[in-house]
């Protein structure tokens, strides 16, 4: 049974191959059947393999399956090997289940669009690449998956390529992540030249012998971190994600909420041994996480486009994951990823339903009162929003964010400042989340709602939302009755120190703090957007208010900064070099030959006796040279 | 014998100079025939009787005769001699003579470093030449015959339209 | 049977060659140009025979044989060309050939 592990990434890739080659000729039913079917089969296999893995518990907790030898260069023999342990098991399950539900959703969502088979081909390729990424045994294969998901992200953001804005957004995403990819590649090179191997487990064992803070660990960890920052859209490379919302909503849900952007969280968690040996880099991780989550939350409050709000929300939540990684709480970070994947993609799918119903309207202030028109959507959206805002009693769960913040407080690397920033972020999260809920679903009806959305769209969305809400139940049970939940499983697999609050009831105290913070955030949102929306508008019109609004709306001005500092000068240089000074050499060669040809053509006079004379002169000269030399 | 060699060498050079400087075509040809005969004597004295005969028979007796025929056919009369005198200005000789002098100097220079022992020579009879031609040089002989065939065809074809004006059939 | 130092013989051949060369460059009448070419060929033949005699082998004479053959072929074709020139341009001036635009 475990031997079928390779099918889990192979099936979506096979789906991609079928759709890439013949998709244009197949009818839509078959295309969606192939796409959804391949992911579905992969999901079933993933569940079965995972169950077997949990039941069988192979030695060391890792099951490896080598498929073939990739290449052979001297001593360097990388193989295509998939390894399954607790971390990758979690990732695989999340990826497959979320992908399956989003595929079913997109079958209905993308129905009126052209390029149907192209869309599903790219989606399948993405799922295959992501699975390769998380199952990879060595860094080279991981990098392959990394690049694959980057490629699919580019292809899918620019899916509606006829609009140049979409293409620009896709290119921007690709270029910014390229910075990270290059740093990541250099990090891999560094590790390879220093350690001579690329397999992850041996590398981590080797690195464990190095002193803390050694140059190799610091350098490679820093380079990997740059790669992670770019891929996950953290400060300072977060500018591409809000623009990436130009792609279709299922793409935003799958790639830019649930999976690709969390690939770097997986990377850091996987290589945590290396990062432990580079404490400076870990501190940077935590600081970046904290800064990002605050900045992004602030920006989210000022956005009008529903997808951009959710994009900034994603950036902010990944900031939380980075914060957890930075303080050494690996399991907490992965657990937050798990829940986030579900509720964030649910929110995106819900946004997609709303957008579709209103005929392509993205501005939330042009929506209103949809709770009467879309009851199921409203309930599911509400559930996901409550999960995002972390209000446990209402959702019967122990929220992952709360667990995370507990770890931040308790960890020796963390402390109160970072914890406080996290709490402030939670407050802001509650505000912007319920801003959406109140503006979109409550209030007077604006815009003309169209037909009811297809059941194929609503059901997956509802299922995702439900799972997101309920996935925390085992943790609650763990707290109350000591049952093993996901978090405990992850915790046992990734060795982090077990911490506890020193005093009894510590958990409940902090839980109360979190509830209070979230509730006050929701209340503030209600106040601002439900009771007295006019106050908000008048506040926004004051000079300070409008300046602040502009700053937050533009994402703290990063785009403008990069444009002025980097893009502008580079474009100026490129324009300067329009003649291309490197070409000068080749142009010169051509010119020389042209001139020589002209000079020589002067000798072609047509005068026969001249020719004879020149033959003789030439012979004399050559003979002279022969005689002299 | 050596004296005869040098004498005919001087004769050949003098006749060649005269051949090049005449204005009358037939005179020039005749002087050149004289030079060829002197060359033939030189060959004989060097112990190459076969080629000595060849010079006289073929070079002077066929090639030059052909020249003479053509000149006569073209009927170059006194006005052509006048034309030649016009063309043959003294100042036209300067540059070519200069080039030739340079060439001779180079030749002398390369010959200077070459001092050979003057050993006794030998007469190479036609028999040996024949054996050489039909032995190692057989292929070249065949090629030469093909060359002659090609020349024959070329001359025939090139001369076709011309002969009409000379009063003959093409 | 004369024994001549080969440098002297080659010098003589060289002088003959140069005289022919001067003739090619100076004369304007195509008949004379052809004649001068013949002079040069003869000089080359002399050089070969001299070499053959120096080495006391028949190869020099065999080479002269080929040179002679080639000269004959060349003269035949050349003279028919001369006739063509006379027919086309009405004169034997080598400069008339320039009209063919090289």
**Helix (H) or strand (E) run with residue A81 in it:** strand A79-84
Round the average pLDDT of chain B to a whole number and report it: 88
At A479-492, the pLDDT tens digits run 666 556 667 677 66
Strand partners, C93: C29
3-state secondary structure chain B: CHHHHHHHHHHHHHHHHHHHHCCCHHHHHHHHHHHHHHHHHHHHHCCCHHHHHHHHHHHHHHHHHHHHHHHHHHCCCHHHHHHHHHHCCHHHHHHHHHHHHHHHHHHHHHHHCCCCCCCCCCCCCHHHHHHHHHCCCHHHHHHHHHHHHHHHHHHHHHCCCCCCCCCCCC
**Helix (H) or strand (E) run with residue A79 in it:** strand A79-84
* Residue A67 pLDDT class (50, 70, 90 cuts): confident
Round the average pLDDT of chain A to a whole number and report it: 85
Looking at the whole model, is its pTM more than 0.80?
Answer: no
pLDDT of C47 reads 95
Contact C53, C60 (CB under 8 A): yes
CB contact under 8 A, C95 and A608: yes
User: What Å distances lie between residue A603 and A599, A607, A614, A615, CA to CA?
Assistant: 7, 9, 10, 12
User: A244: closest CA among A310, A157, A164, A147?
Assistant: A157
At A143-202, the pLDDT tens digits run 999 999 999 999 999 999 999 999 999 999 999 999 999 999 999 999 999 888 888 888
CB contact under 8 A, C46 and B39: yes
DSSP state at residue A199: B
CB contact under 8 A, C87 and B97: no
**Helix (H) or strand (E) run with residue A153 in it:** helix A139-157
pLDDT average, residue stretch A15-23:
90
The nearest alpha carbon in chain B to C6 belongs to B116
Do you know the residue count of chain A?
Answer: 629
pLDDT average, residue stretch A379-403:
74
DSSP state letters, A305-364: BHHHHHHHHHHHHHHHHHHHHHTT-HHHHHHHHHHHHHHHHHHHHHHHHHHHHTTS--BG
Whether B105 and chain A come into contact, CB under 8 Å, resolves to no
The nearest alpha carbon in chain B to A612 belongs to B96
Strand, coil or helix: A259: coil
Of C14, C26, C61, the CB nearest to B93: C26
pLDDT of B168 reads 46
CB contact under 8 A, C102 and A607: yes
Q: What is the ipTM of this complex?
A: 0.92
Cβ count within 10 A of residue A66: 12
> Is A368 a residue whose pLDDT tops 90?
no
Q: What is the pLDDT along chain C (102 residues), one digit of tens a residue?
A: 777 888 899 999 999 999 999 999 999 899 999 999 999 999 999 999 999 998 889 999 999 999 999 999 999 999 999 999 888 888 888 888 888 865
At C22-41, the pLDDT tens digits run 999 999 899 999 999 999 99
pLDDT of B164 reads 61
Which of these ranges, A142-151, A545-554, A605-614, C39-48, has the smallest mean pLDDT? A545-554
pLDDT of A395 reads 52
pLDDT average, residue stretch A368-388:
83
CB contact under 8 A, A623 and B106: yes
At A319-365, the pLDDT tens digits run 999 998 988 888 888 888 888 888 889 999 999 988 888 888 888 88
Whether B169 and chain A come into contact, CB under 8 Å, resolves to no
CB contact under 8 A, B1 and C2: yes
**Helix (H) or strand (E) run with residue A418 in it:** helix A416-441
> Is A268 a residue whose pLDDT tops 60?
yes
Chain B residues within an 8 Å CB radius of A617: 99
User: How close C71 comes to chain B (CA, Å)?
Assistant: 8
C24 half-sphere exposure, CB direction, 13 A CA radius: 25
Name subunits touching A (3+ CB pairs < 8 A).
B, C
Strand, coil or helix: A138: strand
| Residue A195 preceded by cis peptide, ω within 30 | no
Which of these ranges, A46-55, A101-110, A388-397, has the smallest mean pLDDT? A388-397
* Residue B169 pLDDT class (50, 70, 90 cuts): very low
């Amino acid at each position: 049974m475990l031997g079928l592990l390779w099918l889990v990434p192979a099936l979506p890739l096979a789906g991609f191959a079928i759709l890439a080659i013949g998709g244009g000729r197949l009818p839509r039913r078959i295309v969606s059947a192939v796409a959804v079917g391949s992911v579905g089969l992969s999901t079933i296999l993933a569940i079965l393999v995972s169950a077997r893995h949990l039941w069988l518990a192979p030695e060391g907790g890792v099951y490896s399956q080598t498929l073939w030898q990739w290449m052979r260069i001297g001593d360097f023999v990388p193989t295509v090997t998939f390894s399954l342990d607790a971390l990758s098991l979690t990732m695989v399950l999340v990826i497959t289940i979320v992908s399956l539900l989003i595929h079913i959703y997109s079958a209905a969502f993308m129905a009126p669009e052209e390029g149907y088979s192209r869309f599903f081909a790219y989606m399948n390729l993405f799922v295959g690449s992501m699975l390769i990424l998380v199952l990879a045994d060595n860094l080279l294969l991981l990098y392959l998956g990394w690049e694959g998901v980057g490629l699919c992200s580019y292809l899918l953001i620019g899916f509606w390529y006829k609009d140049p804005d979409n293409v620009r957004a896709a290119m921007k995403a690709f270029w910014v992540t390229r910075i990270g990819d290059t740093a990541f590649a250099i990090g891999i090179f560094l590790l390879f030249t220093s350690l001579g191997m690329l397999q992850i487990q041996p590398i981590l064992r080797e690195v464990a012998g190095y002193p803390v803070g050694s140059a190799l660990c610091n350098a490679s960890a820093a380079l990997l971190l740059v790669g992670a920052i770019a891929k996950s859209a953290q400060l300072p490379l977060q500018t591409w994600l809000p623009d990436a919302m130009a792609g279709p909503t299922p793409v935003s849900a799958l790639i830019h909420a649930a999976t690709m952007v969390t690939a770097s969280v997986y990377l850091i968690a996987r290589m945590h041994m290396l990062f432990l040996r580079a404490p400076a880099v870990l501190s940077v991780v935590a600081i970046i996480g904290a800064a990002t989550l605050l900045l992004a939350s602030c920006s989210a409050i000022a956005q009008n486009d529903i997808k951009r709000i959710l994009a900034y929300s994603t950036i902010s939540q990944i900031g939380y994951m980075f914060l957890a990684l930075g303080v050494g709480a690996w399991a907490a970070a992965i657990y937050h990823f798990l829940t986030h994947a579900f509720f964030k993609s649910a929110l995106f799918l819900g946004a997609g339903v709303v957008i579709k119903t209103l005929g392509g309207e993205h501005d939330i202030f042009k929506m209103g009162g949809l709770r009467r028109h879309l009851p199921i959507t409203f309930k599911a959206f509400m559930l996901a929003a409550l999960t995002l805002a972390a209000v446990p009693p209402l959702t019967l769960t122990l929220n992952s964010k709360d667990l995370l913040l507990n770890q931040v407080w308790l960890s020796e690397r963390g402390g109160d400042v970072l914890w406080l920033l996290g709490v402030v972020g939670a407050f802001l999260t509650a505000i912007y989340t319920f801003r959406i809920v109140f503006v979109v679903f409550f209030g007077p009806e604006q815009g003309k709602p169209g037909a009811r959305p297809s059941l194929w769209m609503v059901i997956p969305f509802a299922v995702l939302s439900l799972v997101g809400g309920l996935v925390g139940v085992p943790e609650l049970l763990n707290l109350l009755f000591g049952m093993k939940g996901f978090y405990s499983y992850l915790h046992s697999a990734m060795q982090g120190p077990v911490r506890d609050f020193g005093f009894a009831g510590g958990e409940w105290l902090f839980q109360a703090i979190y509830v209070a913070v979230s509730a006050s955030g929701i209340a503030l949102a209600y106040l601002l957007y439900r009771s007295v929306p006019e106050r908000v508008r008048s506040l926004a019109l004051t000079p300070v208010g409008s300046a602040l609004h502009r700053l937050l709306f533009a994402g703290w001005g990063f785009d403008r900064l990069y444009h002025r500092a980097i893009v502008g000068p580079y474009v100026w240089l490129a324009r300067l070099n329009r003649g291309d000074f490197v070409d000068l050499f080749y142009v010169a060669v051509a010119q020389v030959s042209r001139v020589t040809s002209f000079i020589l053509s002067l000798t072609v006079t047509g005068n026969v006796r001249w020719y004879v004379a020149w033959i003789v002169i030439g012979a004399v000269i050559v003979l002279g040279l022969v005689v002299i030399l | 014998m050596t004296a005869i060699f040098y004498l005919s060498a001087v004769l050949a050079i003098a006749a060649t100079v005269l051949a090049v400087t005449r204005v009358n075509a037939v005179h020039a040809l005749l002087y050149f025939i004289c030079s060829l005969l002197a060359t033939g004597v030189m060959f004989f004295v060097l112990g190459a009787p076969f080629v000595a005969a060849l010079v006289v028979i073929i070079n002077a007796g066929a090639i030059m005769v052909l020249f003479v025929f053509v000149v006569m056919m073209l009927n170059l009369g006194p006005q052509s001699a006048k034309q030649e005198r016009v063309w043959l200005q003294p100042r036209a000789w300067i540059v070519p003579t200069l080039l030739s002098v340079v060439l001779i100097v180079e030749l002398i220079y390369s010959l200077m470093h070459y001092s050979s022992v003057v050993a006794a020579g030998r007469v190479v009879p036609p028999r040996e030449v024949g054996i050489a031609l039909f032995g190692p040089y057989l292929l070249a002989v065949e090629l030469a015959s093909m060359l002659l065939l090609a020349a024959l065809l070329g001359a025939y074809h090139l001369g076709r339209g011309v002969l009409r004006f000379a009063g003959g059939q093409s | 049977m004369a024994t001549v130092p080969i440098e002297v013989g080659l010098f003589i051949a060289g002088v003959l060659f140069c005289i022919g060369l001067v003739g090619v460059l100076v004369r304007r009448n195509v008949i004379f140009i052809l004649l001068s070419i013949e002079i040069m060929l003869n000089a080359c033949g002399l050089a070969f025979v001299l070499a053959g005699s120096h080495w006391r082998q028949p190869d020099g004479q065999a080479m002269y044989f080929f040179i002679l053959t080639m000269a004959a072929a060349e003269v035949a074709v050349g003279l028919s060309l001369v006739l063509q020139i006379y027919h086309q341009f009405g004169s034997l001036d080598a400069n008339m050939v320039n009209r063919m635009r090289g």
